[in-house]
């Protein structure tokens, strides 16, 4: 009988906290699944693994490995998933070369998306995320990013803007879009997930949390919004997605009217998310 399998080796996720160890660490994750029923794009699977590790940062290593296994089982529709998580030793003369945890999940272990074995984060926040890229296949990269974001437990994409074409001051061309997200992640967790997705695409996409509700003033002040209030590349697609939205108390239409890049930004497609141009 033919056996179909898929594996990712050595997925590297930096700046991860593991409960058993001090400080931030770099972890390496191996994932394999047997008989996946869904042909999951590798970029989507990679982004999901990295984002899941970042979301669970701070938990025990076995919990992180379990969370990855659950999510991979769900998106690949596989009844047999094996995850190994390795944490390298640090310092000039570490007492260990690496610590390793493994989780082997079979059909009986796979739970629905609201898996009760994981901690339930009930506080949901509305977030707005900007996506910008100068690569020729920006729309494809954006789609992969959005699927990966939506695939993180506790996340739900609730709005996607039209795709905008952007002409930059240095003569290069690019694209931008904006996503509305409901998330149970904290601002720091969401930023780490975006950093992981940025790294997964080798920096091809710049992504920022433009706005996030339900967070404190210190968290809000610490957000890197990419100077969104002055940039039509963010404001124009956002206003198309949500005409009533405001940023820092100012209506988007007001901010857009004074954005210096407004003449160089224009809608390219309002149905790009399903593959149209």
Residue-level pLDDT at 96: 55
Tokens of 29: 């994750």
So what's the pLDDT on residue 272?
94
Q: State whether 186 and 79 are in the same domain.
A: no
Do 168 and 196 have their domain in common? yes
> What's the length of the chain?
277
State the pLDDT at residue 114: 39
Of 109, 134, 156, the one marking the end of a domain is 109
CATH label of the domain that carries residue 234:
3.30.70.560
**Predicted pLDDT of residue 91:** 55
The reported pTM is: 0.63
Asked if 209 and 224 touch (Cβ cutoff 8 Å), the reply is yes
User: Residue 116's pLDDT is what?
Assistant: 36
With a CB cutoff of 8 Å and minimum separation 6, the contacts of 268 are 162, 163, 164, 165, 175, 277
For residue 148, the model assigns a pLDDT of 85
Question: Is the distance from CB of 78 to CB of 117 less than 8 angstroms?
Answer: no
pLDDT in tens, 125-146: 899 999 999 999 999 999 988 9
In this structure, the answer to whether residues 93 and 149 fall within a common structural domain is no
Q: What is the pLDDT of residue 179?
A: 97
Residue at a domain's end among 54, 76, 109: 109
Number of domains the chain contains = 2
3-class DSSP state of 69:
helix
Residues 203 and 147 in one domain: yes
Regions of the chain short of the pLDDT cut 50: 1, 92-93, 108-121, 276-277
Q: Which of 56, 84, 109 is the last residue of a domain?
A: 109
Residues 82 and 133 in one domain: no
| pLDDT value for 121 | 44
**pLDDT for res 245:** 94
Measured in degrees and rounded to the nearest 5, phi and psi for residue 32 equal -135, 140
């Amino acid at each position: 009988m033919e056996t179909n399998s898929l594996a990712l080796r050595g997925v590297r996720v930096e700046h991860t906290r593991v409960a058993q160890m001090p400080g931030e660490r770099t972890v390496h994750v191996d994932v394999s699944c047997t008989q996946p029923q869904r042909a999951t794009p590798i970029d989507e699977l990679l982004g999901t693994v990295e984002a899941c590790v970042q979301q669970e940062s701070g938990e025990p290593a076995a919990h992180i490995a379990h969370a990855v296994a659950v999510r991979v089982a769900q998106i690949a529709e596989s009844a047999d998933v094996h995850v190994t998580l390795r944490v390298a030793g640090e310092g000039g003369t570490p007492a260990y070369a690496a610590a390793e945890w493994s989780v082997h999940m079979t059909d009986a272990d796979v739970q629905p998306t609201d898996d009760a074995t994981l901690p339930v984060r009930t506080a949901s926040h509305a977030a707005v995320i900007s996506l910008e890229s100068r690569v020729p296949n920006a729309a494809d990269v954006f789609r992969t990013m959005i699927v990966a974001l939506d695939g993180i437990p506790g996340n739900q994409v609730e709005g996607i803007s039209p795709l905008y074409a952007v002409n930059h001051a240095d003569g290069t061309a690019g694209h931008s879009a904006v996503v509305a997200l409901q998330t149970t992640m904290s601002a720091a967790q969401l930023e780490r997930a975006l950093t992981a997705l940025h790294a997964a695409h080798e920096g091809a996409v710049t992504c920022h949390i433009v706005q996030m509700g339900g967070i404190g003033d210190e968290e809000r002040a610490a957000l890197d919004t990419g100077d969104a209030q002055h940039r039509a590349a963010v404001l124009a697609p956002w206003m198309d997605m949500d005409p009533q939205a405001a940023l820092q108390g100012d209506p988007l239409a007001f901010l857009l009217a004074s954005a210096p890049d407004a003449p160089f930004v224009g809608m390219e497609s309002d149905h790009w998310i399903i593959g149209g141009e």
